[in-house]
Amino acid sequence: MTEPIDASDQATFAEQISREMEALYATHYGHSRGKATTYINGKTVLCMVEGSRSDNEADEFERGDSAGVIDRRVAFQVNQEDAFTEMVERITGRTVVAFLSANQENLTFAAELFVLDHELV
């Protein structure tokens, strides 16, 4: 069985996941506006990214093409699943057994949810 992680390590992991998620978003969306906050509870890692909308996405949303923006976001997250998963596994030392991603229609928030094979605490 995998050893539990103490609370201070868990906080460090959350901060590191947030920083690296912001970097992944910046690399793939071409701007660094997204602010990530990560929450860890047992086997669940939730990373909320606020303000990640690019200028192009904002323009498309204003023109009424929110569905197209969401479709491209979903495609991005499918294509980046391995990068997201590898990052969480590397930081936590646990295997990710499920990855779910969601975007709000106006893209104010995005959520990246990971389920680990073992609890961190």
Could you report the per-residue pLDDT of 88-121, keeping only the tens digit for each? Answer: 999 999 999 999 988 776 667 889 999 999 998 7
Q: Average pLDDT of 28-57?
A: 84
Could you report the per-residue pLDDT of 6-26, keeping only the tens digit for each? Answer: 556 778 999 999 999 999 888
- Assess if residue 1 is contained within a domain: no
Q: Which helix (H) or strand (E) holds 60?
A: helix 55-62
State the residue range of the domain holding 15.
7-116
The CATH number linked to 37 is 3.30.980
**pTM strictly above 0.75:** yes
Total domain count, the chain: 1
Tell me how crowded residue 111 is: count the other CB atoms within 10 A of its CB: 13
- Assess if residue 70 is contained within a domain: yes
Burial letters 71-109, b for 16+ CB under 10 A, else e:
eebeebbeebeeebbebbeebbebebeebebebeeebee
Q: Can you give the length of the chain in residues?
A: 121
Q: What percent of the chain has pLDDT over 70?
A: 85
Question: In 3-state terms, what secondary structure has residue 58?
Answer: helix
